[in-house]
Amino acid sequence: MPVDGSGQVPVLAADRPDYRRLIERARVHSSVYTDPQIFADELARIWYRTWVFVGHASEVAQPGDYIRTTIGLQDVIMARGTDGRVHLLLNRCAHRGNLVCEAQRGNAKSFRCPYHGWTYRNTGELIGFPFNQGYGGKGTIEAELSLARVPRVAEYQGFVFGSLAPDGPDLAEHLGEAARELDRLARLSPEGRVELTAGWLRHRTRANWKLLAENETDGYHPQFVHGSIFSVTGSPIGALYSDKSAAVTRSLGRGHSENDLRPEFRKAGEPMRWFGTTADRVPAYAAAMRAAHGPAAERILIEGAPHVMIFPNLFVAEIQVFVIQPLSAGECVQHSTAVQLAGAPELNRRMVSQSVGSVGPAGMLLADDTEMYERNQRGVAMLAPEWLDLRRGLARERIDERGLRIGGATDETGMRGFWQHYLSLMEGA
């Protein structure tokens, strides 16, 4: 299958940009956000090679359930087979290349292409086609034609990832230190399970996907960009992104990064402060957590949820999950949904309403960020200065007890980790 099938004309190796000259330790050249050739290169070397988040197992809970999702520009069907397993298929008929599925979600154990009626199992096998005498009868070509399968599919805490490369690091290696942040999210459920069942909002954004990935753990912007939502809601979170904060920005390796606010929450020692509330306001949830976790519940409720960007497209922002879908050098889609925790209906309702307020059509958080992304995309197209500066906090970085690089709450440590990994993928063989 065309694992690098970006639809672009293949680029000769000799014509590829010298990424070492575009990406330095403390600055990045503007062209990496604007050049269509670099975007095509990213599709081949990042999106069609590394592990990419495609959806959550809870989105296809029943056998026959399917959703449409993407890996880079590829339209992907995520389906649960009657065997209970999750399958990832490219949404392209083996006959004439038509899209097979049109609906964003549904329940069907087989798919029938609307063009000529070729019919497939939801695991990809071709069942048959109309008027089969034209192909010499039944059982002649079915075995050689199927929906293309994404070669590697793996789950962690129900988060489903696909890789279009048949070989490479496995998902555990790719996630590395970021895996424990997904664990941290799951343990906030009294049943230990995350569900992404609240539905997705989609925001088309005229900006390069990397501006979003970098911003997700940029602790420098919240006090400026999000000042309005912090003041309206009386949130204590804004103050945690300052030079006085004990919070840290941590590069988790492999391009992943986090804003770790736990040092501040531990100092406060108040359960549910991370959620902007107190335990007595969510009594059923607190009781369920204490029943499930015993004495450990206090620490879990104090430390709260992660704020982690998982390279290249999954961002867990405490109570919301964002997914970045690239469209071109200058455009992407942000998908967002409220986290739902199994066994926590009281908290789930609040997470949905908070998400409506932050990322809904009239929400204040995502709209503010998106305004910055789109202004940023216009800015990086200007001729000079040619570089984006990445040096904030470089001189005060250190290695923590886990061997990971950390900086202050407002430092650009996460971005530097992102670019280091990006460079390793883009300049590799």
Q: Candidates 40-48, 62-70, 185-193, 314-322 — which segment interacts with other proteins by CB under 8 A?
A: 62-70
Asked if 343 interacts with other proteins (CB under 8 A), we say no
Q: How far is the CB of 64 from other proteins (least distance, A)?
A: 6
**How far, in Å, CA of 217 to CA of 315, rounded?**
9
Minimum distance, C-beta of residue 145 to other proteins, in the bound complex (Å): 19
Q: Assess 193 for contact with other proteins (CB under 8 A).
A: no
Q: Provide the angle, in degrees to the nearest 10, between the axes of the packed helices 365-380 and 345-359.
A: 40
Q: Three-class SS string for the chain? A: CCCCCCCCCCCCHHHCCCHHHHECCCEEECHHHHCHHHHHHHHHHHHCCCCEEEEEHHHHCCCCEEEEEEECCEEEEEEECCCCCEEEEECCCCCCCCCCCCCCEEECCEEECCCCCCEEECCCEEEECCCHHHHCCCCCCHHHCECCECCEEEEECCEEEEECCCCCCCHHHHHHHHHHHHHHHHCCCCCCCEECCCCCEEEEECCCHHHHHHHCCCCCCHHHHCHHHHHHHCCCCHHHCCCCCCCEEEEEECCEEEEECHHHHHHHCCCCHHHCCCHHHCHHHHHHHHHHHHHHHHHHHHHCCCEEEECCCEEEECCEEEEEEEEECCEEEEEEEECEECCCHHHHHHHHHHHHHHHCCCCCHHHHHHHHHHHHHHHHCCCCCCEEECCCCHHHCEECCCCCEEEECCCCHHHHHHHHHHHHHHCCC
Nearest distance in Å: CB 82, other proteins: 8
12: contact with other proteins by CB under 8 A? no
* Total of residues contacting other proteins (CB under 8 A): 21
Report the residue number, 65 or 318, with the smaller CB distance to other proteins: 65
Is 61 among the residues that bind other proteins (CB under 8 A)? yes
Query: Which residue number, 113 or 365, has a Cβ lying nearer to other proteins?
Result: 113
Q: Which is nearer to other proteins, 108 or 172 (CB)?
A: 108
From 34-42, 53-61, 300-308, 410-418, span contacting other proteins (CB under 8 A) = 53-61
- Nearer of residues 82 and 424 to other proteins, judged by Cβ: 82
Which residue number, 333 or 342, has a Cβ lying nearer to other proteins? 342
Write out the two tokens for 156.
Answer: 């962690």
Complex with other proteins: residue 62 or 133, whichever CB lies closer: 62
Touching other proteins, residues 84-143 (CB under 8 A)? 84, 103, 105-112, 119
Answer yes or no whether residue 293 interacts with other proteins by CB under 8 A.
no
Identify which of residues 36 and 128 has a Cβ nearer to other proteins in the complex.
128
In the bound state with other proteins, the residue whose beta carbon lies nearer, of 58 and 420, is 58
Nearer to other proteins, 111 or 220 (CB): 111
Cβ-proximal residues to 395 (8 Å cutoff; 6+ apart), any chain: none
Looking at 63-71, 200-208, 291-299, 376-384, which segment touches other proteins (CB under 8 A)? 63-71
Of the listed pieces 64-72, 167-175, 202-210, 358-366, which binds other proteins according to CB under 8 A?
Answer: 64-72
Cβ nearer to other proteins, comparing 211 with 341: 341
CB of 60 to other proteins, least distance (A): 7
CB of 110 to other proteins, least distance (A): 6
Minimum distance of other proteins from residue 26's CB (angstroms): 47
Is position 295 an interface residue for other proteins (rule: CB under 8 A)? no
Q: Which of residues 195-214 bind other proteins (CB under 8 A)?
A: none
Q: How far is the CB of 119 from other proteins (least distance, A)?
A: 8
Tell me if 230 contacts other proteins by CB under 8 A.
Answer: no
Among 28, 60, 153, 347, binds other proteins (CB under 8 A): 60
251: nearest Cα among 349, 183, 173, 176: 176
Contact 320, 339 (CB under 8 A): yes
Q: Which residues bind other proteins (CB under 8 A)?
A: 59-67, 82, 84, 103, 105-112, 119
